[in-house]
Amino acid sequence: MHRLVIFLFLTSAIFSFAQAPQRPNVENTNDGTEGTPITFHVTSVRQEDLTDCDPQKCSSREFTIEGYVDTRRTGSRITYVLTCIESVVYEPTPHVSGACVRLHAGGDYDGKRFADSIDFWPNKHYTPPPYRVLYSIESEKEISRASH
Instruction: Note the pLDDT of residue 18.
Output: 38
Instruction: Note the pLDDT of residue 126.
Output: 76
Instruction: Note the pLDDT of residue 146.
Output: 64
Q: Which residues contact 41 (CB under 8 A, 6 or more apart)?
A: 67, 68, 69, 70, 107, 108
Give the residue from 99, 111, 25, 30 showing the smallest Cα distance to 68: 111
Has this prediction a pTM greater than 0.75?
no
Instruction: Note the pLDDT of residue 43.
Output: 98
Residues of the chain scoring pLDDT < 70: 1-32, 146-148
Q: What are phi and psi of 19, to 5 degrees?
A: -70, 150
